[in-house]
Every structure is written in C-alpha cells, then in structure tokens.
Amino acid sequence: MAEFLMPSLGADMDEGTVLEWLVKPGDEVRKGDIVAVVDTAKAAVEVECFEGGVFGSVLVGPGATVPVGTPLAVITPGPMAEPKAPAVSAPALAPGPPPPSPASPKVPATPPVRHLARQPGVDISQVRGTGPDGRVTHADVQAAAATQRRPRVTPFARRLASELGIDLADVSGTGPGGAIRAADIRRAAPGAKAPPAAAPPGAAERPAVPLSAAAARPEPQPEAEQAAERQAAMRLAIGNLMARSKREIPHYYLSTTIDLEPMTQWLRSRNRELPVPSRIVPAALLLKAAALAAREVPRLNGFWRDERFIPAEHVHLGVAISLRNAGMVAPAIHDADTLSVADLMARLRDLVARARSGRLRGSEMTDPTITVTNLGDRGVESVFGVIYPPQVALAGFGKVTTAPYAAGGLLGVRSQVTATLAADHRASDGYTGARYLEAVTRFLQKPEEL
C-alpha cells in the first residue's frame, strides 16, 4: 500500500490545501495521472500521482490544509486490487457542498482525547487519527499540540474580532498556514450562519480530516478581502524564497545589449503571413534563444543540491509570469529547446492563461531547470533577477527598443534588447555566464533557425 503525499510544488511551499479530488476510491490510476488539485500560496496546481494502482481511500478531504509530506490518500499497487483497506471503506467523495459545521462532533475520538485537545487549543477536526477506524488518539493530539504554531491573524480579521468581541484563541484559522481570516471570525461570531447543510451521502462516515473541509470552505467572502489575503500569502511565499536565494546563493550578474533588428524584421514579415491567432510575440523568440543557450551551456541548466551542481538532462524553461496584482509564478515549459517557435508560442499562451485563471500542473511547478524573466512589456530596459533555488541561473530580458546602434561599421537605428544573467557563483564563473549570453545573442541573429 502506497501513500500519496502532499507534494512539494516548489522550494517555497511548506503546506498545501486540497481543493478537489479528481478521482474517487476504487478508480484505477496510472503513474502521471492527475488525481487532485492542490492550492498553494501561489496557484492552484493539478498534481499527478507517482505510482499506479487502485486509488484506495482519501485521508485528507477538500478544503484541508496540511504540511508537505502529509499522506493525502492511499494507493493500492497492482491493477484492480480490491480497495479493502481497513477503516476506509466508507469515504465516498461526493462532489458538492462540504459536510456540515466543523463544530459538529463527528471526529472519532474518545471524550478524554477530546478534553486533552481542548487544553492546548488543538482543533481536533484538523488532527489525523491514527487509531482504529481513523480514531484520533492521545498521541495524535499531543503530536498536533507539539507541532502547532502560533496562528497568524490577518489584520482585517484581528480588527473584526475586536469589534465582535471574539477571543482569537477560540478561533481556528483556515487561511494559509492556519492563519485566521475574517471568515473564520464571522463563523465564530454568535449567531453565525451555519455553513451549507446539504451533506453528501456518506459524509457522516468520513474520517477525521475531511470534516475540516467545512471549516476551510468558508461562506463567500467579500472578493476584495479574499484577494487581499491571497496576495498576502503570495507575498510571503515569494519573500521567503527570494530571501533564501539571496541568503544562500552568491549571485553574479552579467549584461549585454543584443541587436534585434534581424529578429524584428523576420517577425514582422512572418506575422503578416500568419493568421492572427498564430501570431508570434517577440518574447517567444527570446525564450527559445534562452532555452537553446541553456542546452549549449549546461553548467547553468540544473540544480544546486547537497553542495554540488547537478546538471539537468532537459531544458525545462521556467517562465516568470506576472499574475497582475497578485504576485507571480515561474512554471516550466518542458523541453523548450526542442519546440518549434510556433509550438513554444502556443505553450506560452497556454501556460500564462492557466497560471492566471486556470490551473498549473505539479510538474510545471517543480521542474524548471533555468528561469527567464521578461519585463519588456513593462517598459524597463533591463532586469537583474533573483535566482529560484535550487536552480543556478536566471536570464532576464528588458524592453525591445529602437536605438542608435553601430552595426557593420555604420550607425543606424535598430531594434535592440538588453539581456542579463544572474548566476550562482558556486556552480559557475562569470566566464561561463558570458558564454551563455553570447549564445543567446548568436541565436537571435538567425531567427529563422530558432
């Protein structure tokens, strides 16, 4: 029996929230199948399972937030093995509204254990029971109490709590990291509306954790507030990762101005022939050149792990995508060096659309071997980026401008772009970085070959 764990979807992820299960107990799953959607501070991510078999039982229901590495479900290896696992014959995961109130004492636990949980303020519905029938044991509560951190409280929630006269110690948070949000305060307020009551069949038989689904699927929150919380969580995640990068990685930076006149001209004539939906933006060509250069200079394409550089076999190009006012993500375009420009363009559009409104995949979040940031659209000339650990390099492109440029002994007005490289000095030296930018420059002089 294998456990399907909460995956780490990037170096900046400590915990995740199960948003949705896409398979149900008894379903046969193959390695790589998308089985669940997990929400991180940065995006809703479709996660693949790493083992085939029969999907046995769900240990963590929709809405619950758990640390990375927490078992989420049980997968029984081998085709069509009967999902006869103990304790878990029941959890029919019906779609639809979550089960009723988190306060309802459906968590299997004995009264003494319940009492024990009350002391350190452990939310028993959040504790995964390891006893028979998923019962929450003494040890479970103690473990939960030991690992319990002081919950964060959003400023708005704190204000609301003081206005409503609610003790924050009585409120269990459903935000990222167990943070207490305004919705939690409202629910804790006397006379609060009960959450949707229409429990799906079988809901009563769910094991401990899924009950918390009700707590984590709060009643509709004002959109602005939700967005603000989301943004705060995102800033925290980005901040932590970037602080780690700057703390651990000795960055060095290089910059060069690239003549883009050949590329611009080629693109203009190409786009005149293409149907509008197939039109190519300059960023696609810049990305392709960056990917080809990464293949040519493998020392910059890979990971720094355990005090050594591990080259990557493929070029999975991370693309920094602005989520407008809600932060950014840098998911991968797989094997970007092997894609035609048209394919790369299609993948880029798809990736950006999914990052902003839809869903990213787990592999896209974890795979990037080198990242490109392109701030050209925002009008800046150059960007010196911060490397995403454990990657060892980040290439940047600024705005494509027209400027005086000496080429072939003549001064002309030509398109150009400033390309930069931030690289990890532990893995490479400036000489290697210079070769990378030279390669990018060279590839961009022959756009038709990209």
Partner 1 sequence: VTPQQAREQIGPALTRAAPGSDIDTIDPGTDLRDALDLDSLDFLRFIEILSETSGRRIEEDNYPELATLDSSIRFLAARLPSQRAGFTWQRAALRRFTSHPSGCTG
CB of 448 to partner 1, least distance (A): 18
Residue that is written with structure tokens 């254990």 in the block: 113
Asked if 273 is part of the footprint of partner 1 (rule: CB under 8 A), the reply reads no
Asked if 352 is part of the footprint of partner 1 (rule: CB under 8 A), the reply reads yes
CB of 415 to partner 1, least distance (A): 13
Among 170, 313, 357, 411, the residue binding partner 1 under the rule CB under 8 A is 357
Give the binding-site size for partner 1 (rule: CB under 8 A): 19
Asked if 224 is part of the footprint of partner 1 (rule: CB under 8 A), the reply reads no
- Report 362-401 residues binding partner 1 (CB under 8 A): 376-377
Compute the distance between CA of residue 212 and CA of residue 57 in angstroms, rounded to an integer. Answer: 17
CB of 62 to partner 1, least distance (A): 24
Compute the distance between CA of residue 382 and CA of residue 410 in angstroms, rounded to an integer. Answer: 25
CB of 228 to partner 1, least distance (A): 15
Give 215 or 283: the residue with its C-beta nearer to partner 1: 283
- Is 267 buried (19+), middle (13-18) or exposed (0-12) by CB count in 10 A? buried
Give 36 or 284: the residue with its C-beta nearer to partner 1: 284
User: What's the token pair of residue 339?
Assistant: 């894609």
Is-contact 137 79, C-beta < 8 A?
A: no
Site string for partner 1, 330-349 (x = CB under 8 A): ------------------xx
Site string for partner 1, 275-314 (x = CB under 8 A): -xx-x-xxx-------------------------------
Asked if 160 is part of the footprint of partner 1 (rule: CB under 8 A), the reply reads no
Give 113 or 348: the residue with its C-beta nearer to partner 1: 348
Compute the distance between CA of residue 162 and CA of residue 425 in angstroms, rounded to an integer. Answer: 50
CB of 357 to partner 1, least distance (A): 6
Asked if 322 is part of the footprint of partner 1 (rule: CB under 8 A), the reply reads yes
Q: Could you tell me which of 326, 131, 148, 370 has the C-alpha nearest to residue 227?
A: 326
CB of 349 to partner 1, least distance (A): 6
Handedness of CA 131, 40, 387, 282 (dihedral sign): positive
Give 114 or 279: the residue with its C-beta nearer to partner 1: 279
Among 307, 325, 404, 409, the residue binding partner 1 under the rule CB under 8 A is 325
Is-contact 3 48, C-beta < 8 A?
A: no
Asked if 231 is part of the footprint of partner 1 (rule: CB under 8 A), the reply reads no
Contacts for 139 with CB less than 8 Å, ≥ 6 apart: 130
Give 147 or 269: the residue with its C-beta nearer to partner 1: 269
Where does this chain bind partner 1 (CB under 8 A)? 268, 271-272, 276-277, 279, 281-283, 322, 324-325, 348-349, 352, 356-357, 376-377
